[in-house]
Amino acid sequence: MKHLLPFIKLFKRQWLMMLVGLLLSLTTLAAGIGLLSLSGWFLSATAVAGLSVVTAQAFNYFTPAGGVRFLSIARTASRYGERLATHEATFRLLTELRTWAWGKLMPLSAKDLSHLRGGDLLNRLVADIDTLDHLYLRLITPLLASLLMIAALYGFLAWFDSELALTLCGVLLSLWFLLPLVFYRLGHRPGIAQLENRRQYRVLLLEYLQGQAELTLFGAEKRFRAELDSAQEKLFASQSTMTAVTALSQALLILSHGLALVLLLYLAADGVGDKVPPGPLLALVVFMTLACIEMLMPLAGAFQHLSACVQAAERVSDITERCPSIGYGEEASLAASRGALSIAGVSFGYQPGQRVLDDLSLEVKPGEKLALLGQTGCGKSSLLSLITREWMPESGTILLDGHPIESYSEQALRRAMTVVSQRIYLFAGTLRDNLTLAQFEQAPAGSRAERKAWREANDARLIAVLQRVGLGALTQGDKPLDNWIGEGGRQLSGGERRRIGVARALLRDAPLLLLDEPTEGLDQRTEREIMALLLEFAKDKTMVMISHRLTAMDKMDSIHLMEAGKIRISGTHQNLLAQDTHYASLNRVLS
């Protein structure tokens, strides 16, 4: 239960709307119970009054009839208002929860999230947070409203007969406490199993959909589909078990309510208050007890929602309670302007005892063009991950413009770097959306006319950049920047996605340019054109490039060959051709 406390604390931000929803829920219950109770009394009193002419003429038919109409209208209106208020409060709470969860997630590094599969993380951020809306909508509001209604019933019924009021409210209060507790215990394991099976099924389904091409090409679709079907069967089995527990709770609730109704009918038959025989008041008590089923019904499913909320809270808390392993500086004025890098004695490994980088040292002067070459797994990309602070070194220091890289604020560090990564990710949006990601600080915050003028001028710049990187075909037609490129850039080729990554780099003005295989997947002619473009763009910038090819190596100020997490040899292109037989052989093969 302690895992629910952080989420309950967030509710105070929406206390007004939550209070309105609670009051309307209470009004709905009061109007419903009052309507049935008054109707029962009115029918009985009318029947009794009709036994003689004198009582029939003296009986006031209009006031109770007006009360019935008022209560029926009030119940309808309050029910509608309750739905609006409680769901509005729920949507606001979900917004708060998602914003809060994302705020906790964003500072986490790749290391902090390395133990989670993508589908599992998505399930926690979507399905589990959606489950937490039950905490207010299905638990707090109906349970608190029914508890307050029990207190109101006691006050009203005690006006006629305190013993009957104590009996009825004692039975209701016992059901309020015992039913959720008992069935929470019974449904705890099935509830956890249902959530876990649903999570597993969603993760496998997501992987199945994303990997359709590979599964089909390698003939593994049937085997993976069998695993997916097995997960589905487990989910259905857990849902069946949970449904049985829910049905048992509803049956017990209805049985308990029926027994309470029989008990009150028996006790009220001896008289209500000082009146013997009880007369119409007997009908009032019986119908009041009968109407209590409306406020008891949420109790039947409360245990299920509670179990789901606790489990979802534990899974979300597993992310939100993590402390970021990578911190940033607090000094906002510190900024990098030259892009000089100094790496001294850096060691790093993804797993304890497994070194990817081993006591590596490297100097990159301002404006220098440096290339890192080496076989896959030698630590080139890991070094870039340390510079961009996706991971932290186990030992050693990394200086940017003479300052420890950890002393920069995250915003200042991102401003100092332009990165073209190995994997270019394109969002499901327009071409403009995917390019202006690189301009997140350039858009003006002025008037609407100023923003429109900036956008028109920027569109011309975006088209010019696309043409520079060889994507002129995408700039044809009416409003080409509004073209939808699909999820992950599915409508583009691998080479086109790579060029968009280069175009993003050309739209940013940062002193340090980090390139991780920027021309991967391009033909030699296009590769030379892109490299010439990048070198022209970086003529006043510091550039660090990782590559498997030797294209444009003669334009580099220094080249470092890495092996087993260390720099084996360094020099210029001409020096390495003369000194290193391996580099010379690569040059002959790849040239």
Helix (H) or strand (E) holding 184: helix 162-210
Left (φ > 0), alpha (ψ -120 to 50) or beta: where does 446 sit?
beta
Residue entry with tokens 């019935």 = 68
Give me the residues paired with residue 17 across strands.
none
Q: CA distances (Å), 78 to each of 17, 74, 139, 289, 378, in order? A: 15, 6, 19, 21, 68
Phi, psi of 566 (to 5 degrees): -130, 160
Amino acid identity at 167? T
Structure tokens that stand for 470 in this block: 């060889």
Helix (H, G, I), strand (E, B) or coil at 62: helix
Using an 8 Å Cβ cutoff, are 409 and 496 in contact?
Answer: no
Amino acid at the residue 225: R
d(CA 512, CA 220): 44
> What is the pLDDT at residue 450?
66
Q: How far is CA 213 from the centre of its chain?
A: 28
DSSP assignment string, 125-161: IIIIHHHTTHIIIIIIHHHHHHHHHHHHHHHHHTTT-
pLDDT digits (tens, 9 = 90+) for 389-425: 888 888 999 999 999 998 998 888 988 999 988 888 8
Phi, psi torsion values for 29, nearest 5 degrees: -65, -45
Residues of the chain with pLDDT under 70: 1-2, 274-278, 440-447, 449-451, 454, 589-591
Domain 14-106+114-183+246-320 is of which CATH architecture? Answer: Up-down Bundle (1.20)
Residue 524: other Cβ atoms inside 10 A:
12
CB 50 within 8 A of CB 56: yes
* CA dist., res. 500 & res. 465, Å (int): 9
Structure token pair of residue 204: 């496998």
Tokens 């220094």: give the residue.
Answer: 558
pLDDT at residue number 363: 92
Helix spans in 269-292 (H): 280-291
Tokens 């915050």 sit on residue? 445
Residue 275 confidence (pLDDT): 62
- Report residue 347 as tokens: 């060691």
Q: Which residues pair with 395 in a beta bridge?
A: 347
* CA–CA separation, 340 and 399 (whole Å): 8
Which sign does the torsion angle of CA 518, 520, 521, 527 carry? positive
Q: Is 335 in a helix, a strand, or coil?
A: coil
Q: Enter the tokens of residue 161.
A: 């007969």
Which among 68, 73, 98 is positioned nearest to 7, based on CA atoms? 98
Q: Residue 301: what pLDDT?
A: 74
pLDDT score for 35? 92
Domain assignments of the chain as residue spans, ordered by start: 14-106+114-183+246-320, 341-590
From the CB of residue 127, how many other CB atoms can be counted at a distance below 10 Å?
15
State the Cα–Cα distance between residues 369 and 175, nearest whole angstrom.
76
- Look at residue 513 in the predicted model and tell me its pLDDT: 93
CA distance 354 to 347: 10
CB 541 within 8 A of CB 510: yes
Q: How far is CA 133 from the centre of its chain?
A: 13
Prediction pTM value: 0.71
| Closest C-alpha to 314, from 192, 136, 150 | 192
**Beta strand 357-364 pairing with 369-374:** unpaired
Other beta carbons within 10 Å of 332: 9
The pLDDT tens digits of the residues spanning 305-344 come to 777 788 888 888 888 888 888 888 887 778 888 889 999 9
pLDDT score for 234: 92
Please state which CATH number belongs to domain 341-590.
Answer: 3.40.50.300
